[in-house]
Amino acid sequence: MDNRLFVAYKPSGMVSNHFLSRIKRRYTVKKAGFSGTLDPFAQGVLIIAFGQFTKLFRFLKKAPKTYRATLWIGASSPTLDIEKIEKVEQMMPFHPDSVTFVLKSMMGEMTYLPPKYSAKKVEGARAYDLARADKDFELKAITSTIYDCHLIHYAHPFLTFEITISEGGYVRSIGALIAQKLGFSGSLSALERLNEGDFTYENEKELNPLDYLDLPTNDYLGDSHDILLGRKLSVENFKKQEEGIYQIVIDEVLSVVEISANGVEYLLNSLSLKA
């Protein structure tokens, strides 16, 4: 079990790093990592890798991501979730058609501010550390693509919706924007990540990394030992010579190379895929 890739399900109320420590103890492994931090109050899909497979995270099909969220309309919190509810406004229930209209209006490309309680870095410091220290700072707006946003259930003042969003999106901010369009503040009372790209939870089943790489394949027409031994490579020896990042598999050994105007560069060299 030196190398392994699988999907775990993080429970609510646990920091992602603490959940990873629990996974490492259960599988008795020393080197492990995860991709896509979940907020402590959130639950759901977390991609886990052991050993050398931790090098694969940046090459995996991890987007778009789908979440199921419950928005507490009228609840104000600086964290945009239930961690620090400061005030709750009362209002009459909304017509279901109004709720559906607002959710549909969120679809498409959207520019917005990330939550101040987030892992975004500001001059080297994490935003949530600055926020907890009551420091004044500004975050840069980000742009996300929302592919789908639809109603699951509405029991006033709680609105449950599912959203499919591009990499790096913040559902807490989207929830606050939905509440704002309804004329009130709002914070998430629950958040579950259902999938990250092609990754879904299947009882921690071991996955074949080749099925999840977000890279086109290429063939090396020269001596295979050039790649296996990490020698300098020539563009002319590749079947596909267009600029781009490619996966090369030789005898169950994976390498990732980038072809550019400057030549060929290894991004990952000779990772064994054998169990």
The burial class, CB within 10 Å (0-12 / 13-18 / 19+), for 262 is exposed
User: Among all chains, which residue has been given the structure tokens 């220290």?
Assistant: 133
Helix residue spans in 44-135 (DSSP H):
96-105, 127-132
From the list 71, 2, 7, the residue with the least C-alpha distance to 34 is: 7
Distinct helix (H) and strand (E) counts, the chain: 5, 15
Query: Which 3 state secondary structure label does DSSP give 82?
Result: helix
Catalytic residue among 39, 81, 226, 251: 39
Residue type at position 139: L
Q: Quick check: is 211 catalytic? A: no
User: Among all chains, which residue has been given the structure tokens 């999907």?
Assistant: 7
As a whole number of angstroms, the distance between CA 250 and CA 173 comes to: 44
From the list 35, 69, 33, the residue with the least C-alpha distance to 52 is: 33
As a whole number of angstroms, the distance between CA 250 and CA 238 comes to: 13
Report in angstroms the alpha-carbon separations of 37 from 41, 48, 169, 170: 12, 11, 12, 11
Backbone angles phi, psi at 13, to 5 degrees: 85, 15
Helix (H) or strand (E) holding 146: strand 142-155
Catalytic residue list = 39
